[in-house]
Amino acid sequence: MTDHCCAAMTSRANARCDQHDDAYACPDALVDFSLAFQEYGLIIHDGGRSSVTIEFCPWCGQRLPESQRDRWFDELERRGIDPFEDEVPAEFQDDRWLSSARQD
């Protein structure tokens, strides 16, 4: 379980439903937190996988951590991996890559 800026965000971002494994399929799900990108999205329930990335917490107003999406692509490129063509390593499918990525 990941801790977030406040209790409301923590419970929303970690919410799991008995009936829907996939948050995008669950009408009660509001927030999708991407571990790999460290991004928060408000889920748009249009039957697809759309979300709106948010920079501030809707509940406590705190600025959320910066998205790591660009670094994610940079880091894969540095390793010669094309995420659209090649298999993405397991550590890049959640937040493990962040601890092994070069800090610069």
**Interacting residues with Zn ion (CB under 5 A):** 5-6, 9, 17, 19-20, 26, 57, 59-60
For residue 6, the minimal CB distance to Zn ion (Å) is 3
Calpha distance 46→36 (Å, rounded): 23
Q: Name which of 63 and 102 has its Cβ closer to Zn ion.
A: 63
Q: Is the Cβ–Cβ distance between 47 and 97 less than 8 Å? A: no
For residue 10, the minimal CB distance to Zn ion (Å) is 8
Q: Name which of 43 and 68 has its Cβ closer to Zn ion.
A: 43
Whether the CA torsion 77, 78, 80, 86 is positive or negative: it is negative
For residue 19, the minimal CB distance to Zn ion (Å) is 5
Q: Name which of 27 and 83 has its Cβ closer to Zn ion.
A: 27
